[in-house]
Amino acid sequence: MTIKKDLLVTAMALCPAGSYALELLLQPDFRLKERYEDNLRMQPKPSRDNWISTVSPSLTFGYLADDNELKSSFRWNELIYHGESELDFSEKIADINHLFKGERFKSDVSANYSEESSINTQLDLTGSGDVQTQVPKTTRSIAPNFSFNLTEKDTLQLGFAYVDVAFNRKPNLTNPIRYSDYDNTQYSATVAHVFTEQFSANLTASYAEFSSSNGNIPIETRIFVQNGSAIIPITITGNQAYAQKSQTLTYQAGMQYSVNETTQIALSAGLRNTDTQSSSVTRFPGFPTNGIEQSSSTIGHVFSANLLHAEEWGNFNVSAGQQLNPASSGTQNQSTSFGLRGKYNLSERLSTGLNASYLISEGQSTLSSVSTSNNRTYLSVTPNLRWRWTNDIDLDLSYTYRDRTYEALNQTSIGNSIQLQFSYQPQINRQVK
């Protein structure tokens, strides 16, 4: 309830008080998805297959003015797992964004609140890769950004981003450290210069603080006790608390180059310095508490590369990058990713496409048992076919191949899925007041 009030207050504060012409925005949307998965939980040897139905209504509303606009959206995803009702979930995703454009000043403020399924999010860049069970995930974020035109060719950009992620973990959850709460705060400043209409360059400095904790991880160990003249083994249970904090300073330089009207290239590269403090506390009833604290300082690389080409027949985008990002694995992850997206228009209403990505994720912790346990690679390839049935209705058919490998466990899991999506977005005329 608090976050909803915060979003409402933000919206009221961002709305202009003046009485001038506004173009009201109201856009409903409805989607129905039917998906078949042969390995939903990404197990080495799947125990069953799944059929999932998703009913997804949404509404986007706001206004458009000469110098500013406000857009808000709310989407409800009702996930129905046929034959496994314990996985059923109601996702709620709310977004708000305000954009202001002045003569020399621009601001862009966005906020998000979401309650999502861990099965749908844990394979993402900020996840741990574990989709064995359904754990509710709540995310709150806000990101204001400001841009100042110092001269006709020079721009200063200041940014702030905060994200808070929490999981509703059950006491008997397996591998609870893979569902760790975390928050991340980042400050950034960018200076950009336009050399020509085709070429520009920039310098960026950013500072980020990451914090993660998981305070009740059940563990077991075996001890040997003497019973008369015999020594017998006994298994005892306890719990472990784990926490990590880190501070990262990043410097990078970038450039954007327009080869022509249809092709654009963006490149950036830099260095990061990360200070990390990790702690682990182990408790067994009747035994002294065992605590470990370690810290480290590391230097790493960051880079990104992006090629975009678009024509009347379609478009394609090739990307690669490496960054240090927050994650629900109890640590920050160094992620190296490669992506390919393409679309080809077969006719005016029929198109085909391909989305492919490859991720190398490496945990960054001073405790080796934690940093290596979640190191993984993840490959996803999705060809699709889209038919524009009418101006309001789209039909999408897609197939997805997934391959996830945990390096420390030498464990590879492969999954295949087929999805059919029906989308209805009525064409509503905007009203001008």
Question: In which residue are the tokens 């996985």 written?
Answer: 87
Which positions ≥6 away from 192 have C-beta within 8 Å?
154, 155, 157, 200, 201, 202
Chain-centroid distance of CA 341 in Å reads 18
313 bridge partner residues: none
State the Cα–Cα distance between residues 380 and 382, nearest whole angstrom.
7
**Is the Cβ–Cβ distance between 175 and 406 less than 8 Å?**
no
pLDDT at 378: 96
Best CA proximity match to 382, nearest among 365, 397, 363: 397
144: helix, coil or strand?
strand
Predicted confidence at residue 429, as pLDDT, reads: 56
Residues in the chain: 433
Please give the Cα distance from 193 to 202 (Å, whole number). 6
Contacts of 421 (CB under 8 A, 6+ apart): 31, 32, 33, 34, 394, 395, 396, 397, 398
pTM of the model: 0.86
Which of 421, 418, 397, 420 has the alpha carbon at shortest distance from 40? 418
79 within 8 A of 88, measured Cβ to Cβ: yes
- Tell me how far the alpha carbon of residue 259 is from its chain's centroid: 31
- The pLDDT score that the predictor gives to residue 433 is 45
167: which 2 tokens? 């999981």
pLDDT of residue 363: 80
Tokens for 236, please give them.
């005892």
Q: How far is CA 213 from CA 130, 158, 216, 370, in A?
A: 17, 29, 10, 12
Question: Tokens 């022509």 — which residue?
Answer: 260
Three-class SS state of 422? strand
Judging by beta carbons within 10 Å of its beta carbon (0-12, 13-18, 19+), is residue 415 exposed, middle or buried? buried
Asked if 382 and 365 count as a contact pair (C-beta separation under 8 A), the reply is no
Query: Rounded CA gap, 180 and 289, in Å?
Result: 22
Q: Is residue 303 a contact partner of residue 268, using CB atoms and an 8 Å limit?
A: yes
Q: Which SS3 state, helix, strand or coil, does residue 39 take?
A: coil
Instruction: Please state, in angstroms and rounded to a whole number, the distance separating the CA atoms of residues 416 and 39.
Output: 7
Residues contacting 186, CB < 8 A, separation 6+: 159, 160, 161, 162, 206, 207, 208, 209
* DSSP class of 178: G
Low-confidence ranges of the chain (pLDDT < 50): 1-5, 7-19, 371, 431-433
Which residue has 């590269």 as its token pair?
A: 269
Token pair belonging to 260:
């022509």
Question: What is the spatial distance between Cα 162 and Cα 145, in angstroms, rounded to a whole number?
Answer: 12
Cα dist from 201 to 91, 152, 316, whole Å: 40, 14, 23
Q: What is the pLDDT of residue 383?
A: 98
Backbone angles phi, psi at 179, to 5 degrees: -130, 55
Say how many C-beta atoms besides its own lie within 10 A of residue 184's C-beta.
Answer: 22
Cα–Cα distance measured from residue 110 to residue 108, given in angstroms and rounded to the nearest whole number:
7
